[in-house]
Structure 1
């Protein structure tokens, strides 16, 4: 190999763009200044972000559907969007999927200030 192509391969290797051995991660001099870590991409990937703590739920609001069903037998459990104050039935595609929400017994929704979604039918 020519000297210039070796330099390119060395640069790509130091940036992790060329596969090397599966040896332990090492630090090597970078021709552009500083140091670069080498190794497989899995070794150099950043740690996953921690999930944010869930918002505090109010009285009669539950984090899981099972808790809500146990608390209100004989009543329909709905998913309440805490931001919009709209609740959804289990047949809706947004049931349990909004960013801020809780499972609530349908009978207690009016007292908590929630209303039913306009285009949903009660099951």
Structure 2
């Protein structure tokens, strides 16, 4: 049995929660979240990419989170940042929370940055993400 760190569990949980918003894209989002849960990120990316390309905020957020977490794939800072910023611009509060985490901890290619971290924390809270 693989050991999963607390941060990995929290990142997977964030991906799952972002799929739970009710809309016409709910089924592929849930399938993608489940794929991440099973460490099948390549399948999740295949499910999310067409929806993200169609500017579905939840898909952009989830895709950014997948690239941020690197669950089963290598992290990709540029793609993570790109998708999360697009989701945030589309009004997705989970994206603001994920950007807060990205700059709080940093990932390869994006160092931690307290000022930017606090900016996205404020954005997340303004968007109703009070657990941030």
User: Which TM-score tier does this pair reach, normalised by the shorter chain?
Assistant: under 0.3
TM-score of the two chains, using structure 2 as the length reference: 0.23
Larger radius of gyration: 1
TM-score of the two chains, using structure 1 as the length reference: 0.25
Please identify which structure carries the higher strand content: 1
